[in-house]
């Protein structure tokens, strides 16, 4: 198996998964806005949207860290793999993965804070605030790196 083919497949997976993450985060934000303005109670559907968004973000973090760590290991394992580094892909640097980690931590904090509240309005506001901040980091990373 060719190393370039290996990395190109995982890089495509990363970018497609990043689109899924951004769409699911926007869906969770819109759902929380609808919950705030319609003054509905926080139900199982709302819980599932926020939970799946958090899971998708964790999977994105794991895929990105796998790309970074496998590239670093291949670079130190065999000096002939310098062509991988010369592709000048931003996923081989540490900064997008640190921003993903920060976004996941912010979403996790929002998730844990919303679980502690019994009032639906507070739950929706906490999801809205923290998930919006996480979305800003994800989109900012995507714009800044490209």
pLDDT for 72-88, tens place per residue? 777 777 666 555 545 55
Q: Who has greater pLDDT, 64 or 91?
A: 64
DSSP SS3 for 122: helix
Phi, psi of 58 (to 5 degrees): -65, -40
Q: How far apart are CA 145 and CA 95, in angstroms?
A: 9
Q: Say which DSSP state 94 is in.
A: S
Cβ(74)–Cβ(46) below 8 Å: no
Enclosing domain of residue 116: 3-145
Predicted TM-score (pTM) of the model is: 0.85
Quick one: pLDDT at residue 1?
55
Write down how long the chain is. Answer: 146
Q: CB 143: neighbour CB atoms within 10 A?
A: 8
Total domain count, the chain: 1
């Amino acid at each position: 198996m060719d190393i370039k083919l290996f990395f190109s497949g995982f890089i495509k997976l990363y970018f497609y998964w990043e689109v899924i993450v951004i769409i699911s985060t926007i869906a969770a934000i819109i759902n929380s806005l609808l919950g705030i303005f319609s003054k509905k109670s926080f139900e199982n559907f709302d819980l599932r949207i926020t939970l799946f968004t958090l899971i998708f973000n964790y999977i994105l973090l794991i895929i990105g860290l796998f790309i970074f760590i496998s590239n670093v290991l291949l670079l130190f394992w065999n000096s002939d793999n310098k062509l991988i580094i010369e592709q000048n892909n931003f996923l081989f640097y540490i900064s997008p993965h640190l921003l993903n980690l920060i976004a996941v931590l912010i979403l996790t904090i929002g998730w844990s804070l919303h679980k502690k509240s019994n009032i639906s309005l507070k739950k929706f506001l906490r999801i809205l605030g923290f998930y919006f901040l996480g979305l800003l980091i994800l989109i900012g990373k995507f714009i800044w790196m490209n």
